[in-house]
């Protein structure tokens, strides 16, 4: 433990040293900034978290002009086409986990990792043609398998009420709290609860994961709607697929402009990948969320309720609830601080119970480079006496 504490101190000192000598002007900018000649802060608070402007920009197919416009092209050269291409990366500078189940007799075992490449993405996004958008992120890390993408058709019939996109994306994209564009790195635990185990479920889903999908959405004034469909992994056994519906209301003026509330209902069927006679598990997720924006402060959160009628295909019902509250505050153009509280509960499945309190800080010497540190404190909601705390510092970049 003494060694782990000394390494933690060393990591903190290294992070402070790195940010203290970093220059203050950007030397390279990612794709959207290059194409539209805008600073990254137009669309991001601390990337990848979006501002209200950034959310509307994405809805409109990455087009600045309402109703769409032909993409601005400087020329037809290959170099100009590369403006749509970006690289995104995330490197773990230092991580320390304690009280993990490590198969050791040491009661307070600690495992550390230093200099790990968490992920590197080849990223392509933008308005390729008027009202046609492309968004793709593909991991370059071996055996990672992360691949998300969407091809969008926007302002169909000349109306913002009709947009459609095809691809692999999260159903939480338009909610008040997106599971992808997070301020702090750790994925929300309430979005991670799966409908079954990998040993039983062939179409297992989570309330916030990415699936091969199609979604129709539209908006006018403060009102937004979305209707999504995903066929699942086994279309023969799950012929009706899974569906979701989203509604959202945004405040467009005043001191809290950009604040919003959202609701979503997601339902479908998880199919069995074994020979068990009870072959289907109907599920539903209900999500309610909100995001308050007030100058340099953002306060947001969501509540999700999951229901299953045939968990593990044994005829058992399983319900769970999860809620998350997070606040972030921009202390200066470079520094932001955040704290997150999240809990998952279930009266039917004690293994789901979990609670975390996670304070963190982000330093952005450039708009497209950030260094983050957080400490995820396990609140021992499952009562097993093990607190799986995590301290992590990492560096993220996009260019």
Q: What is the CATH number of the domain that holds 353?
A: 2.40.160.10
From the DSSP assignment, how many helices (H) and strands (E) are in the chain?
Answer: 4, 16
- Torsion angles phi and psi, residue 397, rounded to 5: -140, 160
Q: What angle do CA 8, 333, 16 make, to 5 degrees?
A: 20
Q: What is the pLDDT of residue 382?
A: 80
pLDDT-flagged residues of the chain (< 50):
1-27
Taking CA atoms, 32 is separated from 41, 73, 179, in Å, by 11, 13, 21
Joined together, the tokens standing for residue 253 give 């003026």
Alpha-carbon Rg for the chain in angstroms: 22
Task: Please report where in the chains the tokens 């699936």 appear, as a residue.
Answer: 211
The encoded tokens of residue 116 equal 């790990």
Q: What was the pLDDT predicted at 3?
A: 45
Cα gap 376→361, rounded to integer Å: 12
Give the dihedral sign, CA 67/298/29/39: positive
Strand partners, 149: 136, 168
- Per-residue pLDDT tens over the stretch 225-242: 999 999 877 656 677 889
Q: Residue 177: which domain range? A: 2-398
Own/partner contacts of 277-281, CB < 8 Å, gap of 24 or more, are 278/310, 278/313, 278/314, 278/315, 279/237, 279/313, 280/237, 280/238, 280/310, 281/195, 281/196, 281/201, 281/308, 281/309, 281/310, 281/311, 281/313
Number of folded domains in the chain?
1
DSSP string covering 167-220, please?
EEEETTTTSSS-SSS-SSSSPPGGG--BSS-TTTBSS--BSS-EEEEEEEEEEE
Residue 24: per-residue pLDDT? 40
Give pLDDT, residue 123: 85
What pLDDT, on a 0 to 100 scale, did the predictor assign at position 42? 82
Q: By the 8 A CB rule, do 372 and 338 touch?
A: no
Q: What confidence score (pLDDT) does residue 17 get?
A: 46
Residue 349 main-chain phi, psi, to 5 deg: -140, 100
The string of DSSP codes covering 130-149 is TTEEEEEEEE-STTT--EEE
């Amino acid at each position: 433990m003494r060694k782990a504490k000394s390494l933690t101190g060393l990591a903190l000192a290294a992070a402070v040293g790195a940010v203290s000598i970093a220059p203050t002007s950007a030397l390279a900018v990612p794709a959207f900034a290059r194409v539209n000649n805008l600073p990254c802060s137009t669309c991001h608070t601390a990337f990848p978290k979006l501002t209200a402007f950034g959310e509307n920009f994405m809805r409109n197919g990455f087009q600045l002009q309402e109703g769409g416009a032909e993409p601005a092209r400087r020329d037809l050269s290959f170099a100009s086409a590369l403006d749509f291409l970006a690289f995104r990366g995330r490197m773990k500078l230092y991580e320390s986990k304690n009280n993990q189940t490590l198969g050791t007799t040491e009661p307070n075992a600690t495992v550390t990792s230093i200099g790990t490449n968490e992920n590197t993405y080849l990223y392509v996004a933008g308005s390729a043609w008027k009202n046609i958008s492309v968004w793709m992120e593909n991991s370059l890390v071996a055996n990672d398998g992360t691949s998300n993408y969407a091809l969008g058709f926007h302002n169909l019939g000349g109306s913002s009420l009709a947009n459609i996109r095809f691809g692999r994306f999260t159903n939480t994209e338009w909610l008040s709290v997106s599971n992808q564009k997070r301020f702090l790195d750790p994925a929300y635990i309430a979005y991670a609860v799966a409908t079954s185990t990998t040993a039983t479920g062939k179409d297992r889903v989570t309330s916030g994961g990415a699936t091969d999908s199609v979604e129709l959405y539209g908006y006018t004034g403060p009102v937004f709607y979305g209707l999504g469909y995903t066929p699942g992994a086994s279309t023969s056994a799950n012929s009706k697929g899974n569906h979701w519906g989203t509604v959202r209301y945004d405040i467009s003026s005043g001191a809290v402009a950009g604040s919003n509330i959202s609701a979503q209902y997601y339902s479908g069927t998880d199919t069995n990948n074994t020979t068990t006679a009870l072959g289907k598990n109907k599920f539903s997720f209900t999500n309610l969320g909100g995001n308050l924006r007030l100058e340099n402060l953002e306060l947001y959160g969501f509540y999700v309720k999951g229901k299953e009628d045939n968990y593990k295909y044994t005829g058992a019902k399983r319900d769970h609830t999860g809620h998350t509250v997070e606040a972030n505050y921009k202390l200066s153009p470079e520094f932001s601080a955040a704290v997150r509280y999240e809990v998952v509960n279930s009266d039917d499945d004690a293994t789901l119970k979990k609670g975390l309190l996670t304070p963190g800080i982000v330093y952005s010497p450039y708009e497209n480079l950030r260094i983050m540190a957080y400490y995820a404190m396990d609140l021992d909601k499952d009562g097993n006496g093990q607190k799986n705390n995590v301290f992590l510092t990492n560096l993220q970049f996009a260019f």
